[in-house]
Amino acid sequence: MKKGCLIAVIAVVAIVLLVGIWAVGARNSFVTKEEGVAGAWSQVENVYQRRADLIPNLVNTVKGYATHEQTTLENVVNARAKATQITVDPENLDAEKLRQFQEAQGELGAAIGRLLAVSENYPDLKANENFMQLQAQLEGTENRIAVERKKFNETVREYNVSVRKFPGNIAAMIFGFDTKPYFEAADGAEQAPVVEF
């Protein structure tokens, strides 16, 4: 074999090796970032589950004082049941599933807000230590939800940038990685809710 052909073969093999190493590295990077999105989503679900776990105790505490508020209590229980039935698989995370999840969680949050507003009509309930602790835990959980949703969106942003940015977008297309949806503010979130007693 001639020296020129040997150099050409070595150059082609080197280029193929470099492209292969780049492709494996790109794929591994996407897998790592996609797992980061799944981990962030799991944390979002954890804090929503914490809120759902607090609700039965809150309902039972309110039930003892606010016997005339059966409809409000039932609304909270029903909203909790609906919210806990909707699950989102982080592997198949799409905008519609995320919207459904967020809508159910929003309904639950609104029902909890109405339940807490009812407490204003019952001074003994507002003074109940168990109720005050549950209310404080719910407030803390709502803060955790906001923090975890923010972390989730940051993780999704990092993943989406790597999927869309050249030359990674080529590897993403080849290996089947696509962008993930963000948590977005619910419709009407720009207006403060009106609470009526």
d(CA 181, CA 156): 7
Residue with tokens 């009407």: 188
Residue 188, pLDDT above cutoff 60: no
What tokens does 115 get?
A: 């339940």
C-beta of residue 90 within 8 angstroms of C-beta of residue 38: yes
pLDDT band at 129 (very low <50, low <70, confident <90, very high): confident
Q: What is the pLDDT of residue 186?
A: 66
Read off the pLDDT of residues 76-127 as tens digits, 9 standing for 90 and up: 999 999 999 988 888 888 889 999 999 999 999 999 988 888 888 888 887 8
Q: Residue 116 and residue 112: Cα distance in Å, rounded?
A: 6
pLDDT at residue 142 is higher than 80: yes
C-alpha 196/C-alpha 118 separation (Å) is 10
Domain presence at residue 123: yes
CA-CA distance, 130 to 127, in Å (whole number)?
A: 9
> Which pair of structure tokens corresponds to residue 90?
């982080």
DSSP, res 24: H
Give pLDDT, residue 52.
93
The total domain count for the chain is: 1
In a domain, 190, yes or no: no
Report which residue type is found at 49.
Q
Number of neighbours of residue 45 by Cβ within 10 angstroms: 16
Whether the per-residue pLDDT at 197 is higher than 80: the answer is no
- Contact criterion met (CB below 8 Å) for 168 and 162: yes
Residue 127 lies in a domain: yes
Using CA atoms, how far apart are residues 33 and 52, in angstroms rounded to an integer? 29
pLDDT at res. 195:
39
**pLDDT for res 30:** 94
Computed over its alpha carbons, how large is the radius of gyration of the chain? 25
Domain membership flag for residue 187? no
Residue 187, pLDDT above cutoff 70: no
The answer to whether residue 122 sits within a structural domain is yes
Q: Please report, for the domain that includes residue 133, its CATH number.
A: 1.20.1440.20
CB neighbour list of residue 174: distance below 8 Å, 6 or more residues apart: 23
Percent of the chain with pLDDT over 90: 60
Q: 195 lies in a domain?
A: no
Across the range 39-55, mean pLDDT stands at 94
Residue type, 115: L
Handedness of CA 39, 40, 45, 47 (dihedral sign): positive
Domain extent at residue 93: 3-175
